[in-house]
Amino acid sequence: MGLRRSYGCRLNESGKTKLYPMHAATQRAFQLNSAFDATFLMEMHDNDLAAISAILVTASQQISEELDRYLILAEKGDCSELKRRIHLVKPLWGYCGLPEMQMKYQHMEQFLGENPPAEVIRARLQSEHPCIVEGLSLITAEVVRIQEYLKQPAS
């Protein structure tokens, strides 16, 4: 993986957030948590922190709801439905700027493609669960940071 350039954003004259390399940013600049692919998020969402926050909220809600379903499906041993649902949720991690989590879901999808027994599926989900919860917590914390930043008056 190549080096990532640090980007932040600040409000421009029209009140919109604009992406700037961190060396050019002022005190008003917001820097996304380094766990996130800031360049991707800022470019994908037109440097709009409010839009990024909304995407993060929506995606984390969907991921969280699916996580609960995963545990139920694992208990039932429904490997094919679990694989399908993981496949559907996998891109949400990418949209959130967390490609490592997206890759984790890719690996789980491949694992489920081998049609392992129910007890092996449960064990795998139990081992992955803390990491997924940590990813969701990271998203939630970033949403709070963004929303607090957006509430600040322009300097």
Q: Please report, in tens digits, the pLDDT of each residue of the chain (155 residues total).
A: 443 444 454 445 555 545 544 433 333 588 999 999 999 999 999 999 999 999 999 999 999 999 989 989 998 989 999 999 999 999 999 999 999 999 999 999 999 999 999 999 999 999 999 999 999 999 999 999 999 999 988 76
pTM over cut 0.75: yes
Cα(15)–Cα(35) distance, integer angstroms: 27
Strands of 7-11's sheet, edge to edge?
A: 17-21, 7-11, 30-31
For residue 17, give the 3-state DSSP assignment. Answer: strand
Extents of the domains making up the chain: 62-142
Structure tokens at 65: 């709801």
